Amino acid sequence: MASPQITLILALISADLLQAQTPPPVRLSFADAIRQATGATQAPPAAVELAGLREDESRGRVTQARSGLLPSISLAGSWANRTVNPKALGFSFAGVPSLIGPFDVVDGRVQLQQTIFDFSNLKRVNAAKSQVAAAVAEGSATEEVSAQTVAAAYARATRTEAVVRARRADSSLAAELVTLAIAQQQAGVSASIDVTRARVQRSESAGRLILAQAQLERARIDLARALGLDTGTPIELTDTLSVELGAAAVPADRDAAVAQAIATRPDLAAELARGNAARTAASAISAERLPRLGLAADYGLSGNQLPDAVSTRALAVQVTVPLLDGFRREGRLAEQKAVARQSDVRARDLRQQVAADVDGALLDLRSAAAQQMISRERLQLATEEVSQARQRFEAGVAGNIEVINAQESLVRAREADIDARFAAVSARIALARSVGSAHTLH
C-alpha cells in the first residue's frame, strides 16, 4: 500500500502533466472577435474565406470573357508520308500513273486569330465585371453576417458569465443563510424547519450554478465555432456584459440611419450589382445580332523535306453576320430580362426591409433602455429586501421563510438585470447590422 507522501507526489505530478497538456486560453476581446469574424486576421471563418474565393472565381470569369478580344496565337507542325490516287482528284489523263508516292510532306505553321470588332464580346466583359462587383458586395455581406453572428455569440457568452457570477453570489448567500439558521436553532430562537428550508435553498442554488456553468461552456463552444476555431480551444473573454459593449458607427437619427443603410448595406449593393449584371448580359445577347469583324493570319514552311521547305502564308479579314439560330438567342434574351426584373423586385423589397430593420432595432434599443432602468431599481429593492428579512430573522421576530422569499426575489431581479443588459447589447448589434456597420462593432 502506497504511503500518503507517495500518493501526494503522484497527484502533484499528474496535475503538472495535465496542466502542461492543456493549451493556454485565448484571451479574446469583443473588438478582436469582430476583426477575426470579418477576415482581418489570418484565420477568418470558413464563410468569409469562401466568399473571398468566390470573388477570385468571378475575376477569373472576367479574364475568360476578355480573351475573346485578345489575339490567339498557335503553333502547328506535321510530318506525313502518303500516297495519292490522281484519278480520285479528277486527273485521268494519259501518262498520269494511277498511284503517286509514297512521299514525305512536312509543314510548320504560325496561326493568328484577332477580333477587330465584336460589340457583344465587349458587353460580356462588362457583364463579367458587374458579376465581380456583385461578388465583392456579397463578400462584404458575408462579413457583416459573420460579424453579427460572432458579436451575438460573444454577447451570449458574456451573458452566461454574468449568470454564473450571479449564481455564485446566490450560492454564497444561501450558504450564509444555512449557517445563520443553524446558529439561530442552536440559540433556541428558531425551529429546525428553518434549517431544512435553508438547506433546500442552498441545494437549489447549487443546482442553478451547475446549470449556468454548463451553459457557459456551451456558449464558449458556440463562440469558437462562429470564429472558425477548434471547439476545444479554451477562450477567456476580456469584456463583460457592460453598457459600452456593442457600440458601432451608427447615426442616432432614424432617417440618417435609414439613409446610411440604403447607401452602405452590402446585401442591397450585391442585389443591385446582380441586377446590373443581368441587364448587361441581356445587352450582350442583343449585340450578338451585330456583325463581327475578325482577322486571320497563317504563316509557315511546307515541302517534301525540311531543307526544301518554302514559306507560305495566308491573310484574311472575316465578317460574320448572324441571321438565325433557331430563336435560341431570343430565348436567352428573354431569360436574362426575367432575371433582371426579379433582381429589381428583390432590390425594391430589400429597401423596404432595410427601413424595417432599422425601425425594429431602434424600437428594441429604446425598450431595452427602459428595461435597464426598471431592472436596476428592482435589483436595488430586492437587495434591500434580503437585508431587511435577514435582520428580522436574526432578531428572532420572523422565520427564515421571509429570507428565502426575499432571496428568490433577488435571484429573479438579478436575472432581469442580466436580461435587460443583454437585450440592450443585442439591440445595438442588430442596429449596427441593419445599417451595414456590423464590422465597426467594438
- pLDDT for res 189: 75
**Which residues touch 274 (CB under 8 Å, ≥6 apart)?**
131, 134, 343
pLDDT, average across residues 81-85 = 88
Lowest mean pLDDT among 47-56, 185-194, 373-382, 416-425: 185-194
Reference 287, options 166, 175, 154, 122; nearest CA is: 122
**Dist. CA 396–CA 160, nearest whole Å:** 38
CB 282 within 8 A of CB 335: no
3-class SS at 101? strand
Lowest mean pLDDT among 39-53, 132-146, 288-302: 39-53
| Domains of the chain, start order | 40-73+103-440 (1.20.1600.10)
3-class SS at 271? helix
Query: What digits encode the pLDDT tens for the residues 102-159?
Result: 888 899 999 999 988 888 888 889 888 888 988 999 998 899 999 999 999 999 999 9
Return the C-alpha cell found at 114: 484577332
Largest CA distance in the chain: 145
Query: What digits encode the pLDDT tens for the residues 160-191?
Result: 999 999 999 988 888 888 888 888 888 777 77
Query: What digits encode the pLDDT tens for the residues 236-263?
Result: 999 999 878 988 888 888 999 999 999 9
